[in-house]
Chain A
Amino acid sequence: MNSIKLNLSWLLLVILLPLAGSAHAACEITTPSYEALRDLEMEGCFNDKAKNTLLAQVIAQVPAPFDFSVPNAQALRAQQIGAALALVSDSIQREQDVQTTPALAAPINTFAQKLNATTATGPGTRQDWKFEGESGLVGTTGVNVKFYVDSLCAQSLASCRSALEASMVLLRAAMAMEEIAFRSDRVSWAVFQDHYSVVRQRWHKYLFEARSQYWWELAVNAARYDAQRDRTESFPSPPDYQWILLHPDVALEYVGNAEPGSRLQPSIILEWVGYNRWSWSGANMDHPLGVSIVSSYSDRAGVKSVGYGLLFHYKNTYSLGITKRDGDTGIFMSVDLGKYLLDKQTQLNDARQHFDLRQALLNQSGN
């Protein structure tokens, strides 16, 4: 007998549990209280278009994204927003028509007045309609749902239910208004992002496509940049120049008076100070040009190992320099240029061997 009772209890539980769940899914209040209303809020009864048909209708009226570049776009959008506002007004009007509890007429009328004002002022912002559950306030409408629910729930169960039902109508309408306000705002995330895409690309180019900067060069350039910019600006464009300072690098240098076999060699260069500039054209760096005072160091037979001169930069990648070593002239290019011409270090070596071989052959034929 006991086992039959137990089985029946389980059966009842199995049947009732989904029913309880569907009651929640249907956004119905089971235990009338303000807390129950907040549970419905958390379940998405107001902000889920699948559970708030008014919200779904509004979303259908005001599609997003909206292309403001098409002809008559503004008029079309205004029309869509107007139609959506009319839907919300209708829902509130219906509630006004059926509302029989005098205490609830006041908040509904207050909400309706705020709604009517939107015909002149527009839908405002989300904040104007946002339900603040802790205080019970509905945006800036002047309606406090919690106040009405709590005071009517203290009177009778029937009044409490009426207050909750009226509140649900108001909150569905408030959420629909939030959506209209949100969609009316022309600065969407995509619009904002597009606006700054050029600045973002410029920064990437400045850091990784302009001539490379060691941290001490970044520090010097930042100090100069900071002295010139408006520090309240949100997303300033990067500078269109860079100072070069104590920048060591590797270059391929040719010294004609060195002994055959050591005329074209990799050498170490130090740019003591230099300046590189360009013009920003959209996200592109137009005509980057620069020059540095430079020393070059190489260990080669027949000439002094240190030379001094100038290094010219073009397009941030190609550098060509000239140095003097006790009257001997050295021509050098940056390895970046070498990479452009030959691609790989091994190919650089091959080229040097080939060059030296040609020199040897020329010398031999000269002799």
Chain B
Amino acid sequence: MDKHVIFLLHGMGKFPKGWSAEVQQVIKDAYGQYDKLKTFPFDDHFAFSELNYDHLFEDLRELWRKNSMSLLDNLATHGVDGSLIPTLAKLGGDTNNDNFFNTHLLDVILYRFISLVSIPVRTELATKQIPDRLKDDGSGAEVKNWSIVCHSLGTVVGHDALHALFSPNNPTRPDPRNRGPAVGLFVANVGRLLQNDFDVYESVVRPSVQKATGIFDYYLNTHHRLDPVPMPKAFKPPHEWLDAQTRQANPPRYQDIEISEVTDINVHDFTHYLRNPKVHIPFFRALWNRQSIILQAEEKAAIQDYDNKLPSSPQLDAVKKDLQELIEKQGATLEDFLTTVKAFCEIVKC
């Protein structure tokens, strides 16, 4: 039987090949907790596929590093007057130091403001990495069922790639009614704050029962009460975002999942979200398009069990308090966002 492919898309930071191993394990472990799902083993029905765009940022940083290294080497031997060239050389090379600005915020800034970076990123994902996994691999069959799980910066990158792919403005688009994805799980969604070419409320990246106005069967949006990253310009689509038929669908095709449980100080972490049954249960139900795949009693028990095991310590309480204060002070602009992310990472030591 053809497997349902689940793409995983990372957020800001350094993501070498194989970055998704932990995420995959967390999803599989969560899947294996539920009685009915055990009779339909994950590996028999699903396969992961890791997407990566960080290499493009890394390649650019490496290019700048090489240029400035050669420059700085020669500057040292030449005693060049004036401060402009050394300053420029330093500005170019600084982007390759593994400090928080370069590995996290620079990605956000480059993606949001420099189309000469964001367009090749979406082109690479939509026209190379995704089709590479879905096209006929010589077996005579394409992958028909697929979904995507995006995190943080990856939510806007994934949004842009999917809209570009299936947009009516794409003259050679695959028909979403034949090749559209089933489920989109958007974790710590920053799509609205960082949107550039494509408006997240106008794009085709939305659920639609007949795939007339959107490409997904289910769109799940999740955010944590203490995670400041998805808060400015939070993703809250208007009523008309869903077409009439989709609005009436049961179970709901758009689900906004807010969580508040804290098992680790880094509440923004991809796996911190996925471990939470309030996040992964709707995801598994959507993947199978079947609510009864996890019975309500089982869901209740899983949430209760998760709550019972929540860690508690004065240190964790202090972090929660700091995060709460950070969120209360947070503004809604991109500048506020960058400042907050930096402060957040200082608190949770990411």
Contacts and interface: CB of A to CB of B under 8 A. Distances in A.
Contacts of B88: 214, 246-248, 270
Contacts of A239: 116
Given A187-B173, A204-B120, A214-B67, A193 B167 contact: no
Given A215-B95, A222-B116, A140 B178 contact: no
Contacts of B165: 192, 234
Interface stretch (B46-54, B73-81, B299-307, B320-328): B73-81
Contacts of A128: 177
Nearest to B113: A219
Contacts of B63: 208, 212
Contacts of A266: 74, 77-78
B85 A297 contact: yes
Contact of A127 (B115, B134, B141, B177): B177
Would you call the interface of chain A mostly helix, strand, loop, or mixed?
mixed
A187 B127 contact: no
A235 B1 contact: no
Given A182-B144, A189-B135, A268 B85 contact: yes
Contacts, number: 204
B19 interface: no
Contacts of A132: 209, 289
Contacts of A225: 115-116
Contact of B114 (A127, A218, A236, A248): A218
B172 A195 contact: yes
Contacts of A189: 131, 134-136, 142, 174, 179
B251 interface: yes
B128 A200 contact: yes
Given A195-B172, A222-B116, A232-B169, A248 B123 contact: no
Interface in B226-268: 249-251
A300 B250 CA distance: 80
A250 B290 contact: no
A80 interface: no
A191 interface: yes
B84, B119, B140: most-surrounded residue (chain A CB, <10 A)? B119
Interface stretch (A42-50, A114-122, A311-319, A358-366): A42-50
Interface in A171-203: 181-182, 185, 187-193, 195-197, 199-200, 203
Give the interface size bracket for A toward B: 35 or more
Interface string A227-248: 0010111111011000000111
B71 A182 contact: no
Interface string A285-305: 000000000000111000001
A190 B131 contact: yes
Interface string B64-101: 10010011001101111100110011011001000000
A134 B119 contact: no
Contacts of B336: none
B60 interface: yes
Give the interface size bracket for B toward A: 35 or more
A127 B210 contact: yes
Contacts of A204: 120
B140 A63 contact: yes
A270 B172 contact: no
A221 B175 contact: no
B136 A64 contact: yes
A219 B64 CA distance: 14
Interface string A331-358: 0000100000000000000000000000
Contacts of B163: 234
B318 interface: no
A126 interface: yes
Contacts of A229: 115
B77, B120, B126, B249: most-surrounded residue (chain A CB, <10 A)? B120
B348 interface: no
B67 A249 contact: yes
Given A187-B174, A222-B117, A270-B84, 8 more contacts: A35-B292, A135-B250, A206-B116, A207-B56, A215-B64, A246-B88, A250-B71, A335-B70
Interface of A: 35, 38, 42-44, 47-48, 50, 63-65, 125-128, 132-135, 140, 181-182, 185, 187-193, 195-197, 199-200, 203-204, 206-208, 212, 214-216, 218-219, 221-222, 225-226, 229, 231-236, 238-239, 246-250, 266-268, 270, 297-299, 305-306, 335
8 contacts: A48-B1, A126-B178, A187-B174, A189-B179, A204-B120, A234-B169, A238-B120, A250-B70
Interface of B: 1-2, 40, 45, 56, 59-60, 63-64, 67, 70-71, 74-75, 77-81, 84-85, 88-89, 91-92, 95, 110, 113-117, 119-120, 122-124, 126-128, 131-132, 134-136, 140-142, 144, 163-165, 167, 169-170, 172-175, 177-179, 197, 209-211, 249-251, 288-293
Q: Which 5 A-B pairs have the closest CB atoms?
A: A189-B135, A125-B177, A234-B164, A203-B120, A234-B170
